[in-house]
Amino acid sequence: MRKLLIFLTIILLLLLNISYFFVVDSVKKYKHINPKDLTKKHVALVLGAGVWKDNKPSPILEDRIDSGILLLKMGIVDKLVMSGDNRFEWYDEPTSMMNYAKSMGVDEKYLQPDYAGRRTYDSCKRIKEIFSQGDIIVITQDFHMDRALYTCDSLGVKVQGFLSDRDKMYPCLLKPDQKENYKDKDKTYSFEELLKDDKYKEVCKTKEDISGYFITFDKMRWKVRDVLSLYKTFIDIYLFPPQYVGGEKLEI
């Protein structure tokens, strides 16, 4: 009996690993770190993440919102859907995301909150069923992107992924300020100049600040969690689809 259990455990682990690498391989062509590689879409889905006790976005969530703002400013999308969890009175991701984007100078007319994006599954389901968007850009970090792309695609949403990793796409592009430029030595570059001929590879060589180390450590922790969540995603999609918060369709 013991040998049988060991054998079955090994088989299970092999199947789990095969399924994980299948997902990674199937979505890798839809992942983009350079915004120039994206096709223009009406909507970008910004996936929620943790917020602090003062309802300010965590560094990981800030990166996602900043990436969405960049796509707006470049004209790659027309609107950002801020999808997150707000089941508790003291915890409200979409409102935190909206407030942060507005503090960065984004007009509210370009923002759409989704207050029932409790999980990645819910966000992908609602972007199609509630907001009637079947062809989008999704914004999140690399540790989460495989699951996000696979989930949206499995739920019938055509999707491109824009990676919001500050340590992969340099901070001068991922931390846009209201002046829309980045200073290197005595030269000021616009985003357009930085993107032309991939000039950002020469100009942006260092991380913005020491918080980048925290973000890297935090993403490692989240990666482990996300691999486990991917197996739950298989169950949600193929075996027991969970209930999501529905409602009337909203035109955006």
Structural domain that includes position 210: 11-239
Q: What residue type is assigned to position 66 of the chain?
A: D
Q: Is residue 3 part of a domain?
A: no
Q: Which two tokens stand for residue 143?
A: 């540790």
Q: Tell me the mean pLDDT in the region 43-50.
A: 94
pLDDT over 90 (residue 252): no
Q: Is residue 5 part of a domain?
A: no
Of residues 247 and 123, more confidence is placed in: 123
Q: Is residue 99 part of a domain?
A: yes
pLDDT at 153: 94
Q: What is the DSSP-derived secondary structure letter of residue 20? A: H
Specify the DSSP element, H or E, that contains 240: none
Q: Is residue 248 part of a domain?
A: no
Q: Is residue 251 part of a domain?
A: no
Q: Which two tokens stand for residue 16?
A: 């789990």
pLDDT at 14: 67
pLDDT at 99: 94
Q: What CATH number is associated with residue 36? A: 3.40.50.620
pLDDT over 70 (residue 248): yes
The string of DSSP codes covering 178-214 is TT-EEEETTEEEEHHHHHGGGTHHHH--S-SSTHHHH
pLDDT at 151: 94
Q: Tell me the mean pLDDT in the region 63-80.
A: 91
- The pLDDT tens digits of the residues spanning 102-139 come to 998 899 999 999 999 999 999 999 999 999 999 999 99
Q: Tell me the mean pLDDT in the region 177-184.
A: 49
Q: Is residue 1 part of a domain?
A: no
Cβ-contact 137, 45 below 8 angstroms = yes
pLDDT at 197: 65
Q: Is residue 245 part of a domain?
A: no
Q: Tell me the mean pLDDT in the region 9-23.
A: 68
pLDDT at 157: 96
Q: Tell me the mean pLDDT in the region 96-102.
A: 94
Q: Tell me the mean pLDDT in the region 43-54.
A: 91
pLDDT at 107: 93
Q: Which of 52-61, 95-104, 222-231 has the highest mean pLDDT?
A: 95-104
Tell me how many domains the chain contains: 1
Question: CB under 8 Å to 111, separation ≥6 — which residues?
Answer: 79, 80, 82, 98, 101, 102
Percent share of the chain, pLDDT over 90: 36
Q: Is residue 117 part of a domain?
A: yes
10 Å CB burial of residue 237 (0-12, 13-18, 19+) is middle
Of 22-36, 96-110, 149-163, which range is least confident? 22-36
